[in-house]
Each structure stands twice: as C-alpha cells, then as structure tokens.
C-alpha cells in the first residue's frame, strides 16, 4: 500500500505525459477507493443510528471491531465489542423497540476523513435525539478501521453537547452522565471530565481547518459555566455532582 | 453499452489490478465511478422530492416517480402512478402550500444501495416532520423512509416511496402527553391498495424492514423479529 501511495505521489508530481498508463490507473484507483471508503464510513455511522432507534443491540455491536472502544456522555470507557453489547443491553434493555419508548438518534452533518494508507478513517458528526425524555445533542468523533476490506468502528466517542426535557433548554438541562449513573459500570473512567450545556466542552477535531490546512489547539480544554478566569468558572470545574450522587440540573445562563 | 461494460468490469474485479489489461482496469474503474454517481443522483432526487413536498408542489413531486411508481404514507394505503400520487398528495393540502401551513419533511441519514447493474437502487432515510395548520397546534413528527429507485433512459426516478410514521406529537405537549395516531385510508381519494404493512405509530413500536444487509457481517437484516403489538394483533 505504501508503495502504491509513493507511486501515486510520484505520479502526481510528474508531468502527465511522463506517467505510464499503469501509474495513472494506480492513482485513479486510489482516488476512487477513497471516495468509496468515505461513503462506506458515512454509511456505518448512519446504520448505527438506525440500530439505536429501534434497539438492534446485537447488530449494532457487530458494527464494532473486536477491540473497539465505546464512550458515550460521561459514562466512561467500554473496551471491546462484547462490552459494547453488554452496555447496550444492560442500560437499555433487550433487543427490539419497547412500546411507549421513543429514542430516535438522527444522524447528520458528517465530516469524513480517510488516512493516506486507507486503513483508518474518522468521522465528526452529530445526532439529534428526539425521545420520550426530551431532546439531546450528542456529538461524535469516531474512528474506523478497515480489516480484510471491511470497515468497522474502532472507537465510538459520543460526548454530549446538550440534553434537556421536552420543556426545552431554556428551562432545564442535564449536565452530563457519569460512570455509576446506571449499570453497567465502565472498564475505565471517562477520558475527559466535562459538563454539558449550559457549560461546554469543545471536542477536539480530528481534522485541520480545511481552508488554512492547519490543525489548531482547542485550549484550554475544559468545562465552562462562566467566562474563563472568573471565580464562577474556577468553581464550576470543581463541582461535578452533589453529595448524594446526583448531578445538579443547571439553570441556563440569563442575560 | 453500459451492460457490456459491467460484464467486463465484473470480470476485471475478480483479478488483481496488475494482472488486468489497461482496458479491463478502465472498465472496472468506470463502473465504480458510475455507481458513485448513481448514489449521488439518488441522494439529489430524494432531497429534491423533500423540497417539493415541503412546499406543496405536488405536481413536481409526483413527476419524480416512475410510471407505475408507488406512494405510501403511514397507514393511508398505496397510490399507484403519477396521477394517483398527485391526488393523494392533495390530502396534505392544496397545490402550493396554503397560508399558515407548515409541511416540512426533512430528509437525512441516507443509506443508499445501488444495484450492481446500475439500474435500480434502494434507500433508507430518516424523516423529521414539522407540521402546522392555522388554528391548530404545531406537530412534531418522525419516521423512516424505505424507498426504491429505478434508472430509465439514464434518469433516476422514484419507483417506491414508503414513509413509515414512527411518532407524531403535539409540539407543546410532547410524547408523554400526546401521541397522535396515523390517519387511515381516505374516503375522498381512496388508495389503489390497502397499507402494505399494518402497524401503529407511537406509543406502538415497529421496525420498518431494512433493505440493506449488515455492512460488517454481510448478513441479511430481514429476520429481525417485529415487536409484539396487542392492538394490531401481532404476536
């Protein structure tokens, strides 16, 4: 693959007439494969969403590589395909939709990138959750791996932006979930501790700015309920939840 | 011409790239690009349908269907052919969106599968719905499309549009207080056929059958059992 890549790069750098037809076809193959890979990775993310909507946990877990990881909200890290299935079936019940339950996770706005070697891919995308519990906005920074020609999830990372009741985010909001909020417990603690709306955390981007071509640091990474540097913000970093294990339902900021 | 190329392409796919002649490789790559373009054309077609439907442009929306194409929305039954489809759409309001109406049917999350011969395709879409009429409360809705497409003389058309309503609720009340049932077949403009599948919207649950195979295991998803429903009588 590396050799092919090198060939493609050489081909790009040389005048077209200096290339052999084989070289030109190699370069073309690589570009077509990249487009196909982008489509397939987008499809995986969308298929994941449909499985969530109707509770196809077994089929959902089969979208993951054996050693994949999953982290949703503030719940912590789950390691491996089997734990993905256990997470879903323990937290949300056995396979299949439940009467009176709506948990739609509508998937959109993907930004897809394929590694130069064509074996790893990333998607930044989001879901709009419309559920009996209200509204929600998870963001995804997911990673995919191509094994024996088949793309699979290697990392699902779904930090929350905002969760609120049907009354809406002008009324109330859930700060985040946390490891022991519900069963099963995670294998590892959360990779980042952050609060959701009205606080926020800027999830690092897997890709550089597409116009400048430069990556940029999102600093400082952290949770803010008030402008950085203020006493309120300093305090907010220390307040995760109340002594009884519950999290405060925060009031949105007022002008 | 296209068929012949596909046969060559299919042959070529079986061989490693460097064991193929330049002609074989060009044919194989052309076929792959054809399929990518087909997928984009179908995405555009369905998105265009959405923009027409939102604004009550029934004549334009109906013109996107192939002859003998079908239109099925919730439990309203199946309408066959452009003329009947256009008439069925009048049940959603007059031609041209009426004042004070909102008829938004947002389409997202497409999973498009183009047949290898490039002549037909299927797609699953997520449908978010926002409705209003003068003097009535706004409505939030959501559902799933399972559609089919056909390519005729180089042009992609809708051969089947089936919108499965998942749930509809009063905008202010929300799911815990309001679950709006689906409408049945119209007496005014009756459908050509009864609903192909009988199910309830929320609080009932139903899995619109998946047209595609599992993208990792390759297994069919057609054997996923439907949840039981006492009202519909599904065990």
For A2-250, CATH gives 3.10.450.50
pTM over 0.90: no
Q: What integer pLDDT is reported at residue A253 of this predicted model?
A: 41
Please report which confidence band the pLDDT of residue A233 belongs to, taking 50, 70 and 90 as the band edges.
Answer: low
What is the rounded distance in angstroms from the CA atom of residue A36 to the CA atom of residue A85? 28
- Considering only CA atoms, which of B138, B17, B183, B6 is closest in space to residue A24? B17
- Residue A26's closest chain B neighbor by CA? B17
Q: What integer pLDDT is reported at residue A231 of this predicted model?
A: 75
CB contact set of B47 (below 8 Å; sequence gap of 6+) = B107
> Quick check: B108 and A107 CB within 8 A?
yes
How is chain B split into domains, by residue range? 2-170
- Angle at which helix B22-54 crosses helix A21-54, to 10 degrees, equals 40
Residues of A with CB under 8 A from a CB of B: 21-22, 25-26, 28-29, 32, 35-36, 39-40, 43-44, 46-47, 49-50, 53-54, 56, 59, 62-63, 96-102, 104, 106-108, 128, 130-132, 134, 150-152, 166
Predicted confidence (pLDDT) per residue in A83-113, tens digit: 999 999 999 999 999 999 999 999 999 999 9
One-letter-per-residue 3-state SS of chain B? CHHHHHHHHHHHHCCCHHHCCHHHHHHHHHHHHHHHHHHHHHHHHHHHHHHHHHCCCHHHHHCCEEEEEEEEECCCCEEECHHHHHHHHHHHCCCCCCCCCEEEEEEEEEEEEECCCCCEEEEEEEEEEEEECCCCCCEEEEEEEEEEEEEECCEEEEEEEEEEEEEEEECCCCCCCCCCCCCCCCCCCCCCECCCCCCCCCCCCCCCCCCCCCCCCCCCCCCCCCCCECCCCEC
Burial classification of residue A235, based on how many CB atoms lie within 10 Å of its CB (0-12 exposed, 13-18 middle, 19 or more buried): exposed
Strand partners, A139: A126
pLDDT at A228 over 50: yes
Predicted confidence (pLDDT) per residue in A160-204, tens digit: 999 998 888 888 888 889 998 999 999 998 888 888 887 777 888
Which residues of chain B make contact with A102, given a CB cutoff of 8 A? 142, 166-167, 175, 202
pLDDT at A145 over 70: yes
> Quick check: A101 and B205 CB within 8 A?
yes
Element (H, E) at A175: none
Of the candidates A28, A62, A106, which has its C-beta nearest B29's C-beta? Answer: A28
- Considering only CA atoms, which of B21, B28, B39 is closest in space to residue B6? B28
How is chain A split into domains, by residue range? 2-250
- Residue B26's closest chain A neighbor by CA? A25
Of the candidates A56, A62, A108, which has its C-beta nearest B109's C-beta? Answer: A108
Predicted confidence (pLDDT) per residue in A24-53, tens digit: 999 999 999 999 999 999 999 999 999 999
Best A41, A99, A110 residue to mutate vs chain B (most B CBs within 10 Å): A99
pLDDT cut 70: percent of chain A above it: 79
Q: What integer pLDDT is reported at residue A128 of this predicted model?
A: 97
Residue A98, both tokens: 């439940």
The conformation of residue A252, written as its DSSP 8-state character, comes to P
Average pLDDT on A132-142 reads: 94
B221 in reach of chain A (CB within 8 A):
yes
Q: What is the Cα gyration radius of chain B?
A: 20
pLDDT at A241 over 80: no
Q: Which fold has domain B2-170?
A: Nuclear Transport Factor 2; Chain: A, (3.10.450)
Residue B143 near residue B161 (C-beta atoms within 8 A): no
Q: What integer pLDDT is reported at residue A3 of this predicted model?
A: 55
SS3 content of chain A, % helix, strand, coil (to 5): 30, 30, 45
CB contact set of B123 (below 8 Å; sequence gap of 6+) = B42, B46, B110, B111, B112, B113, B145, B146, B147, B148, B149, B211
Which residues of chain B make contact with A22, given a CB cutoff of 8 A? 18, 22
The conformation of residue A113, written as its DSSP 8-state character, comes to E
Considering only residues A19 and A220, tell me which one the structure prediction assigns the higher pLDDT: A19
What is the rounded distance in angstroms from the CA atom of residue B147 to the CA atom of residue A119? 32
Q: What are phi and psi of A34, to 5 degrees?
A: -65, -45
Predicted confidence (pLDDT) per residue in B37-80, tens digit: 999 999 999 999 999 999 999 999 999 999 999 999 999 999 99
Of the candidates A43, A96, A132, which has its C-beta nearest B227's C-beta? Answer: A96
Buried b / exposed e along A198-227 (16+ C-beta atoms within 10 A)? bbebebeebeeeeeeeeeeeeeeebbbbee
CB contact set of A82 (below 8 Å; sequence gap of 6+) = A61
Of the candidates A21, A132, A166, which has its C-beta nearest B22's C-beta? Answer: A21
What is the rounded distance in angstroms from the CA atom of residue A56 to the CA atom of residue B199? 19
> Quick check: B128 and A106 CB within 8 A?
yes
Q: Which residues of chain B have pLDDT under 70?
A: 1-15
- Considering only CA atoms, which of A222, A235, A33 is closest in space to residue A118? A33
What residues of chain B, 125 to 184, have a C-beta less than 8 Å from chain A?
A: 126, 128, 140, 142, 144, 166-167, 174-176
Best B109, B116, B169, B205 residue to mutate vs chain A (most A CBs within 10 Å): B109
Of the candidates A26, A43, A96, which has its C-beta nearest B215's C-beta? Answer: A43
Q: Cα distance from B205 to chain A (closest Cα, Å)?
A: 5
């Amino acid at each position: 693959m590396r050799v092919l890549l090198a060939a493609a790069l050489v081909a790009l750098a040389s005048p077209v007439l200096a290339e052999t037809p084989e070289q030109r076809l190699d370069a073309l193959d690589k570009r077509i494969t990249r487009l196909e890979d982008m489509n397939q990775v987008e499809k995986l993310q969308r298929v994941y969403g449909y499985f969530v909507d109707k509770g196809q946990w077994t089929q959902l877990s089969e979208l993951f590589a054996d050693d994949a990881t999953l982290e949703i909200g503030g719940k912590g890290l789950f390691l491996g395909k089997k734990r993905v299935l256990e997470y879903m079936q323990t937290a949300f019940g056995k396979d299949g939709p439940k009467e009176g339950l709506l948990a739609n996770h509508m998937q959109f706005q993907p930004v897809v990138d394929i590694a130069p070697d064509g074996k790893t891919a990333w998607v930044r995308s989001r879901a709009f959750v419309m559920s009996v519990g209200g509204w929600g906005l998870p963001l995804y920074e997911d990673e995919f791996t191509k094994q024996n020609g088949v793309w699979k999830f290697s990392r699902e990372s779904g930090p929350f932006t905002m969760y609120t009741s049907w009354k809406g985010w002008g009324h109330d909001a859930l700060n985040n979930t946390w490891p022991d909020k519900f069963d099963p417990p995670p294998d590892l603690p959360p990779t980042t501790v952050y609060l959701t709306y009205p606080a926020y955390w800027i999830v690092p981007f897997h890709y550089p700015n597409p116009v400048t071509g430069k990556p940029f640091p999102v600093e400082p990474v952290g949770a803010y309920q008030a402008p950085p540097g203020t006493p309120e913000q300093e305090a907010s970093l220390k307040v995760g939840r109340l002594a009884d294990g519950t999290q405060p339902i925060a009031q949105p900021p007022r002008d | 011409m296209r068929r012949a190329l596909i046969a060559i392409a299919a042959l070529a796919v079986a061989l490693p790239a460097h064991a193929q002649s330049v002609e074989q490789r060009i044919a194989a790559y052309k076929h792959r690009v054809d399929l990518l373009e087909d997928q984009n054309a179908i995405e555009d077609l369905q998105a265009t349908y959405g923009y027409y439907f939102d604004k009550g442009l029934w004549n334009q929306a109906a013109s996107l269907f192939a002859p003998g194409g079908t239109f099925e929305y919730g439990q309203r039954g199946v309408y066959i052919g452009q003329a009947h489809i256009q008439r069925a759409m009048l049940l959603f309001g007059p031609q041209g969106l009426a004042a004070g109406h909102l008829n938004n049917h947002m389409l997202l999350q497409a999973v498009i599968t183009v047949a290898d011969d490039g002549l037909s395709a299927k797609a699953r879409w997520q449908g978010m719905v926002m409705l209003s009429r003068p003097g009535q409360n706004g409505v939030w809705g959501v559902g799933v499309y399972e559609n089919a497409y056909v390519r005729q003389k180089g042009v992609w058309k809708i051969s089947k549009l089936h919108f499965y309503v998942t749930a509809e609720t009063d905008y202010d009340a929300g799911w815990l207080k309001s679950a709006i049932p689906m409408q049945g077949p119209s007496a005014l403009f009756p459908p050509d056929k009864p609903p192909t599948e009988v199910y309830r919207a929320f609080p009932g649950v139903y899995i619109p059958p998946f047209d595609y195979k599992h993208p990792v295991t390759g297994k069919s998803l057609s054997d996923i059992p439907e949840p039981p429903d006492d009202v519909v009588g599904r065990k």
